[in-house]
Chain A
């Protein structure tokens, strides 16, 4: 594991207790709820997602499986509020998106962590500043932010790389920076879109172990992948998509 017991203890202790259960709205049983959801891009194109009905409970880990083009990324975009459904209702952290004002979405986004296949780190910022970005966007005090970032970088095994440029890191390290950025705000929901797609097997295992650890700490985690080998190594409930439809949820 990348962190020592002291650090892990700290992560499990009071500071990370709210990871899974948002304090302001109390216990949320349904972390994500889709009701008869359809999604089309541009208003007139074909539906890329159709008739999706499912519920993800708080604190669960789910795989999102399916071949390329099945709609995994589109489904995750709905979950992390990068798109709104064309029909039906998406409810995230107890808030129905159809009734949410656009101005209310930024606050909701701050409670959702996102990890992308291509990392999406800002190349002109150091590792430290990339990870600090969500805290600074939220207007957290700089001293507290520094402490939080230092701790989360230590957790991800990147403390020595804090001042490095992302381009100077390996793919696996960049993905761990992306995970650190996604979890530094202690999100209630963490979604990852093919987080191991660009990594070799050892790096992929390491990234996945971080995601699993977030789940063990209580965060609801959804990971899209088509790496069936990893799914076999980490058995968990899975949403399986095909041609924009949910074909199984088990």
Chain B
């Protein structure tokens, strides 16, 4: 039986014990999850940023045109739930309504008071009723309360996504550690021989770490590449919520180019590009730590 000369690239036979199938496949699945999680966190952050402006003014109070505002403002400021009550700028209102009412609106515009709340109320309707009682003749619009609740939900989702990302990294570390331990078991004799021939811990650990980093990096790259079109599809669905167009653009000739129409540019490419090297680094570090701890038992 003839064997090809290896030129010493793989004296531990790691290509066989750390195969290029199972570990990369597991890491690819985890990279896919990590990519989805990352994109979820990014999407939640974008939605939160967009809604933040709407939530700044949680409530608006409308008074009839020409109504006095000093007493209502004082009554509103006295309510404990309200942090700030201020008149909306009439010029800004006119600018907002210009597309519908023109430059010099003939309609009498109401007086609008914007309220910023000290904290979100448990029951927005009840608060609206109390404000209406404190300021007779006022109409209360409470949509901002719901926007603020959605904002809080988006922030929570962002935090949960980051926690899930950490969990995925932890599971990846555990998977790599198990694979490395299996590799050590399979090559215990070869490791002992290399050690007896004068190989340092760093040399032996480095050979394992190099192989693991390569496999994990490639697995993570595959997972990320699979995730990209899925994420682009989600981004297309979410585009209208973020002020963009829906996915899918009809080109001038009438052909519907789904792939070209996906909002590829809106994907978090920087974070996605970091996934393979980050995974490779996790694999390298895990292999180094696992090997060096095991080698300490040798003299």
Q: Do A and B come from one complex?
A: yes
Q: Flag whether A134 is at the interface (Cβ < 8 A).
A: yes
Please tell me which one of the listed residues A108, A109, A136, A164 contacts residue B11 in the complex, with CB atoms under 8 A apart. Answer: A136
In whole angstroms, what is the CA distance A107 to B196 when docked? 11
* Inter-subunit contact A137/B7 (CB<8 Å): no
* Inter-subunit contact A133/B197 (CB<8 Å): yes
Q: Flag whether A163 is at the interface (Cβ < 8 A).
A: yes
For B189, list chain A residues within 8 Å (CB): 120
Please tell me which one of the listed residues B1, B7, B196, B203 contacts residue A164 in the complex, with CB atoms under 8 A apart. Answer: B1
* Inter-subunit contact A122/B11 (CB<8 Å): yes
Please report the number of residue pairs spanning A and B whose Cβ atoms sit closer than 8 angstroms: 79
Give the shortest distance, in Å, between A40 (CB) and chain B (any CB). 14
Q: Flag whether A70 is at the interface (Cβ < 8 A).
A: no
For B299, list chain A residues within 8 Å (CB): 81-84, 102, 105
* Inter-subunit contact B1/A165 (CB<8 Å): yes
For B4, list chain A residues within 8 Å (CB): 126, 163
* Inter-subunit contact B13/A110 (CB<8 Å): no
* Inter-subunit contact B197/A110 (CB<8 Å): yes
Please tell me which one of the listed residues B2, B8, B194, B203 contacts residue A129 in the complex, with CB atoms under 8 A apart. Answer: B8
Interface code A112-141, partner B: CB below 8 Å = 1, 0 otherwise? 001000001010111011001110111000
In whole angstroms, what is the CA distance A232 to B262 when docked? 87
For chain B, what secondary structure do more than half of its interface residues adopt (helix, strand, loop), or is it mixed?
Answer: loop
For A105, list chain B residues within 8 Å (CB): 299
* Inter-subunit contact B16/A124 (CB<8 Å): yes
Q: Flag whether A13 is at the interface (Cβ < 8 A).
A: no
* Inter-subunit contact A125/B198 (CB<8 Å): no
For A167, list chain B residues within 8 Å (CB): 1
In whole angstroms, what is the CA distance A137 to B190 when docked? 13
For A164, list chain B residues within 8 Å (CB): 1-3
Interface code B1-40, partner A: CB below 8 Å = 1, 0 otherwise? 1111111100101001000000000000000000000000
Please tell me which one of the listed residues A84, A124, A132, A134 contacts residue B198 in the complex, with CB atoms under 8 A apart. Answer: A134
Q: Flag whether B193 is at the interface (Cβ < 8 A).
A: yes
**CB-CB contacts below 8 Å: B189-205 with A:** 189-190, 193-200, 203
Q: Flag whether A106 is at the interface (Cβ < 8 A).
A: yes
* Inter-subunit contact B5/A133 (CB<8 Å): no
For B3, list chain A residues within 8 Å (CB): 124-126, 129, 163-165
* Inter-subunit contact B8/A132 (CB<8 Å): yes
* Inter-subunit contact B199/A106 (CB<8 Å): yes
Give the 7 A-B residue pairs with the shortest CB-CB distance, closest first.
A110-B198, A136-B8, A126-B3, A109-B198, A124-B13, A165-B1, A106-B198
Besides A132-B8, A137-B203, A163-B4, 18 new A-B residue pairs in contact (Cβ under 8 A), listed by A number:
A82-B299, A84-B299, A102-B299, A103-B200, A105-B299, A106-B199, A122-B190, A124-B16, A125-B3, A126-B4, A126-B5, A133-B11, A133-B194, A136-B8, A137-B194, A137-B199, A145-B8, A165-B2
Contact surface of A with B, Cβ cutoff 8 Å:
80-84, 102-103, 105-110, 114, 120, 122, 124-126, 128-129, 132-134, 136-138, 142, 145, 163-165, 167-168, 181
